[in-house]
Structure 1
């Protein structure tokens, strides 16, 4: 991990301009002077130093305001590599990106979380190692690893304190396990927040300052952004949306409470209900699609059955939309967001069917003043983007490390290979706090 020396004045200016260029994707020298208040002379001199060092590159021209078209500057992608790891209850997803966010490698594999940390952590480290190998990352090029993992976290120490869905995960030193293999910058965050960060930078929330991200997957969680920045609460645990008590006399939740929203609308809850119905003799399209095997039922299969007109599946989907809509009413009345984004595995499989119900209930039951201008939308991000969200946790810190270490650019991709862009142009990068 690079130790930051005391910055000399010119280094302070250079790092400030470098971060601004990174956050905006592309800027010209005039824009940099306008944003910072630095003189045109100082900006030009510092940019020349950054260009000579290889930290930034000239990447075309911008629109003219009457004179010569300005030259645009962008952070050089080859300054280093970043890992983003998204750890779910069922699957893990890992990306290797360059410093500019271009994806060099994406892998998906079972997370083995249910087997316990003793099995899962070595497996996840091996998955990271495999991704680095596929991306051709050499020693010294890795600048940081961002990790999104479910459960209750102590971010300062990088420890998973507990994970209601996986009782064996208690006081697990996730960050220490990773830094023992790769002594680099490592940041741990809750998966709903890393997914919301991806949404903020790459998705529906790029232009929203006050928005809620609702993750509906194997579990249910949320992330809150106020004033364009994530809100974590006094102890860092804000956003446990899935453990709102929707029905006080409802089923027992994995957290030990009763009637939690998660016990009604999560993938685990939906699959459990469908499996119980098939086991109890339900004969429907869902039974045919699963060949009568309850263990073959998944959220995707429920969606397929609903599309085929299966009445049980349609009713299950409608109940899901109703429960989620009732919970959204509470959030809208309490927080008055401009945007609610619904993401995660359940949203990907059933979102088009549940969204109209959620939207209708929210507008019927929330205060009119709260719903004026409110947008409720489905996330359009893909699974690789969830891991990109984790990589964004360390992006600016990695850039700073590259700056102080004097890192020189390396090729962004092997000859003939075209990396997938992470849509950086014009994005608003929001660092997790």
Structure 2
């Protein structure tokens, strides 16, 4: 009989000059244990010596990143002191730049939202104007929260792709005219005075799931982002995969219906041209499901029209529901292609349009993915909604800061130079 093995926890290293990596390994282990861990349990989980565990725990306590949270134990022996994250030990700001709405959140160390704000993205506004709006909103958010600004570790920004990760620039995203190579990272860093990171919204969403999604954010999974566009974030063995330029997960041109609408890439039936909200709204208009003059094609208008389509679908309009169901089949085909390529255990759906799609998608897609899985005789593939919520990209943007500062990453083991 083949032995089934559960994924191994991250292992630390006792090699010299690896203190920072070991610190993040320990912090990550504590973070993943909601009830906390004792020093003895930490030594067993991460493979470090008791003395190393004791030294690093003291360092984390001094930095107020963890706290001693009572004693636990039964039977013979001394009760063990439990270590848990200190929610107020560090904070981070996250911004999601979406063509329809700007979302800003302030997170504590455990990934809980402390303060939240939303602003409709001004249609046709210059990037400089929108950046100024974001910067002002960030300052107001921190002030309203009452959090000591010195405890804010930085600012994370989630943007539609493609992005230039090295330069921190947004590179001509859909439905954001004028955003051609806009240096958003540096502009916001200068405007806010906060150390700033930029990543794609789909990748940020995957990061959010690993930090605040609970069981759905563990192991190997893809995050299917349902927003103005469609893309996926990739997590393999608890590590977020970004690709060589930071643009992994651009799945919009997977063909899901060869006879489908013509895409701007020149192919027919791409999931981008067939199943994003803009395409579904256009289909509903052509079928007479959405009636009335609809000349406004801006992202906020698409969001409003799509909400109307979903309300009709779940209100008993069969034609509207059929449009949603057909899109579920198309997206299910794209998901199957991705899961077969990456061999993951789970698909997590989320994003600003997910709440409208969830009932129909969760009814159809799990069976489609399982039926088309190349590994169905070896393991199943779970299909779930995000454990973070509608603001997953903004939460993920803030988690970028926490991940960059605190998460164990293989890059930390590379020697400088």
Shorter-chain TM-score range: 0.7 to 0.9
Structure-2 residue corresponding to 1:356: 363
Are 1:20 and 2:26 matched, yes or no?
Answer: yes
CA–CA separation in structure 2 for the residues paired with 1:364 and 1:42: 48
Shift of 1:192: 0.8
Structure-1 residue corresponding to 2:184: 174
Specify every segment of 5 or more residues in structure 2 that has no aligned partner in the other structure, as ranges.
1-14, 412-417
Matches within 5 A, 1:111-150: 111-112=121-122, 114-150=124-160
Structure-2 residue corresponding to 1:409: none
CA RMSD of aligned residues (A): 3.2
**TM-score normalised by length of structure 2:** 0.81
Q: 1:391 aligns with which of 381, 393, 398?
A: 398
Matches within 5 A, 1:20-169: 20-25=26-31, 26-35=36-45, 38-41=48-51, 43-44=53-54, 47-48=57-58, 50-52=60-62, 54-64=64-74, 66-112=76-122, 114-169=124-179
Structure-1 residue corresponding to 2:261: 251
Pick closer, same or farther for the CA change 1:177–1:348 going to 2, 3 Å. Answer: same
Which range moves more in the overlay, 207-216 or 150-159?
207-216
CA–CA separation in structure 2 for the residues paired with 1:37 and 1:97: 30
Shift of 1:219: 0.7
Contact 1:196–1:389 (8 Å) recurs in 2? yes
Deviations along 1:344-368, one digit per CA (max 9) or x if unpaired, are 2332102211222223333344446
Deviations along 1:11-55, one digit per CA (max 9) or x if unpaired, are 975884466235523332223444555544554455445545544
Pick closer, same or farther for the CA change 1:29–1:432 going to 2, 3 Å. Answer: closer
Structure-1 residue corresponding to 2:337: 330
Contact 2:200–2:247 (8 Å) recurs in 1? no
Are 1:185 and 2:191 matched, yes or no?
Answer: no
Are 1:317 and 2:324 matched, yes or no?
Answer: yes
Pick closer, same or farther for the CA change 1:253–1:169 going to 2, 3 Å. Answer: farther
Contact 2:222–2:339 (8 Å) recurs in 1? no
Pick closer, same or farther for the CA change 1:166–1:60 going to 2, 3 Å. Answer: same
CA–CA separation in structure 2 for the residues paired with 1:216 and 1:384: 12
Shift of 1:260: 2.2
Are 1:266 and 2:279 matched, yes or no?
Answer: no
The 3-state SS of whatever aligns with 2:150 is coil
Contact 1:208–1:228 (8 Å) recurs in 2? yes
Q: 2:313 aligns with which of 306, 309, 312?
A: 306
The 3-state SS of whatever aligns with 2:84 is strand
Structure-1 residue corresponding to 2:245: 235
Deviations along 1:404-428, one digit per CA (max 9) or x if unpaired, are xxxxxxxxxxxxxxxxxxxxxxxxx
**TM-score normalised by length of structure 1:** 0.78
Contact 1:242–1:261 (8 Å) recurs in 2? yes
Specify every segment of 5 or more residues in structure 1 that has no aligned partner in the other structure, as ranges.
1-8, 400-428
Are 1:341 and 2:348 matched, yes or no?
Answer: yes
CA–CA separation in structure 2 for the residues paired with 1:370 and 1:10: 44
Number of residues of Structure 1 aligned to a counterpart in Structure 2? 386
Are 1:216 and 2:226 matched, yes or no?
Answer: yes
Contact 2:199–2:246 (8 Å) recurs in 1? no
CA–CA separation in structure 2 for the residues paired with 1:176 and 1:326: 38
The 3-state SS of whatever aligns with 2:252 is helix
Deviations along 1:263-320, one digit per CA (max 9) or x if unpaired, are 211112112222344xxxx3x6x55xxxx46478522222221122212202211211
Deviations along 1:348-398, one digit per CA (max 9) or x if unpaired, are 102211222223333344446368412122224313443221111111544
Pick closer, same or farther for the CA change 1:109–1:66 going to 2, 3 Å. Answer: farther
Structure-1 residue corresponding to 2:209: 199
The 3-state SS of whatever aligns with 2:285 is helix
Structure-2 residue corresponding to 1:421: none
Deviations along 1:187-230, one digit per CA (max 9) or x if unpaired, are 11111111112222332654642211111221111112222222
Contact 1:97–1:105 (8 Å) recurs in 2? yes
